[in-house]
Amino acid sequence: MTDVQGDVVDVPTEDGVADAYLARPADGRPRPGVLFYQDAYGLRPHLRSMADRLAAAGYTVLVPNVFYRLGRTPVVDLPEFIDPGADPTIWERLGPILAGLTSDLVKRDADAYLRWLAESPLVADGPVAITGYCMGSRLALWTAGAHPERVAAAAGFHGGALATDAPDSPHLEAPRITAELYFGHADEDPSLPPEQVARFEEALTAAGVRHTCEVYPGAHHGYTQADTPAYDREAAERHWAALLELLKRAF
C-alpha cells in the first residue's frame, strides 16, 4: 500500500481561514485532487483515516473544516464514539451550526477550496473530484453546480435533504452540473424518504447528468462512519468500491 502523509493546512477564504486536513501519497508527486466534505460531526480522527485511505489509492485529499467561522477543529467537542442516542445534547449543539452554513456560504467557500487545490504543487493539473458524507452530500452538489468547470466527478453517501421544496435544494443544481455523479443512499434514512430519492433521480435524468444512484439495503444514515452506531461495514466497503471506480473514470 502507498505510504501516506497527512498534514494540517490553512486555506484562505473570503471570510477568514479554514483549517483543513491534507492527505496525500508520501512521495510528494502531484496526484488528482479530491475535495472531501465532512458530515455534521466535523473534522475528526475517523474522517482523517478515511482521507488517508483515499490518499493511499493515489489521490491528494483536502478535508476542510467547513465550520471554520466558529473556530478551528474541533469546533464542537465530541466523544471518541459519537452516539446522539446516549447524549441528546450533541444535536442540540450541532443544529444551530448546521443551520448557519447556507448554500451561498458553501459555494463561496468552495471557490477557495478549489483554488487552493489548483495552486497546490501536490495536485495534478485539471479538474478535481468531490466526495461528501451526510450533509457533505449537499455540499458536493452545491459545489459541482457552482463550479462545473472545476469538478469532473462528485459522490455523495447517506445524504439527507437532497430534493426538498426549499429554494436552494441541492437537486436544483442539476442543470448546471457537468460532472459524473454517484450517490449511495441509505435505505433506512428518514432524512431522505423515497419521494426525495425519486425526485432527485428525476432531476438528474431530466438535466442529462451522467449519474448512478443506488439505495444500500438495510443501511442507516451515517453507514460509513465507524465512530457512530450507524456504521455498517458491508455498506461502507460498498461505498469505497463505488467511489474508487468513479475516480478511476474521472481521472
Map out the domains of the chain as residue ranges: 4-250
This prediction's pTM: 0.98
Topology of the domain covering 4-250: Rossmann fold (3.40.50)
Q: What does the alpha-carbon distance between residue 165 and residue 170 come to, in Å, rounded to a whole number?
A: 10
What does DSSP say about strands 151-157 and 16-25: parallel, antiparallel, or unpaired?
Answer: unpaired
Question: What was the pLDDT predicted at 215?
Answer: 98
Q: What does the alpha-carbon distance between residue 106 and residue 108 come to, in Å, rounded to a whole number?
A: 5
Segments in the chain below pLDDT 50: none
73 touches 19 (CB < 8 A): yes
Question: What was the pLDDT predicted at 237?
Answer: 98
223 touches 231 (CB < 8 A): yes
Helix segments in 57-188, DSSP class H = 89-100, 103-119, 135-146
Q: What does the alpha-carbon distance between residue 232 and residue 236 come to, in Å, rounded to a whole number?
A: 6
Q: DSSP character for 103?
A: H
Question: What was the pLDDT predicted at 140?
Answer: 98
Helix segments in 130-232, DSSP class H = 135-146, 194-206
208 touches 91 (CB < 8 A): no
Interval 114-152: pLDDT, tens? 999 999 999 999 999 999 999 999 999 999 999 999 999
CA atoms within 13 A on the CB side of 132: 29
Question: What was the pLDDT predicted at 2?
Answer: 85
CA atoms within 13 A on the CB side of 162: 34
Q: Is 9 helix (H, G, I), strand (E, B) or coil?
A: strand
